[in-house]
Amino acid sequence: MTTPSPASGPSSDATPAGRAGSPGGTSEELQNKFSLVVLTSQRARQLQNGARPRVDPNGHKFPWVARHEVMAGMISWDVLPKPAQGQTPR
């Protein structure tokens, strides 16, 4: 995941996964529950390591804050291409 940057804001899609996205990724890619969980857990880790929350934490734990940031479309993300056979991942 790239360094988070503010997105343009939530769209009018009805599903929470459809509201997340960025210039690098599309909402269709994040509709996969696995991708949503991975992005949320990576953001929760960033919050745990000192990143500033983009929503009011109001006493909630990092996973809750991260999930709400992702669902609100405040987190940018990119899908990296799979490495070719024989190359080591980044």
Tell me 90's DSSP state: -
Q: Is the model's pLDDT at 3 over the cut of 50?
A: no
pLDDT tens, residue by residue, 39-76: 999 999 999 999 999 999 999 999 999 999 998 889 88
Whether the CA torsion 6, 20, 45, 87 is positive or negative: it is negative
pLDDT band at 7 (very low <50, low <70, confident <90, very high): very low
pLDDT at 25: 54
**Residues 17 and 31 sit within 8 Å (Cβ to Cβ):** yes
Q: Is the model's pLDDT at 15 over the cut of 80?
A: no
Nearest one of 56, 54, 57, 58 to 74, comparing CA atoms? 54
pLDDT tens, residue by residue, 79-88: 788 888 877 7
CA distances from 54 to 4, 6, 16, 82, 87 (A): 10, 9, 17, 30, 36
Helix H, strand E, coil C: the string for 9-22 is: CCCCCCCHHHHCCC
Whole-model pTM over 0.75: no
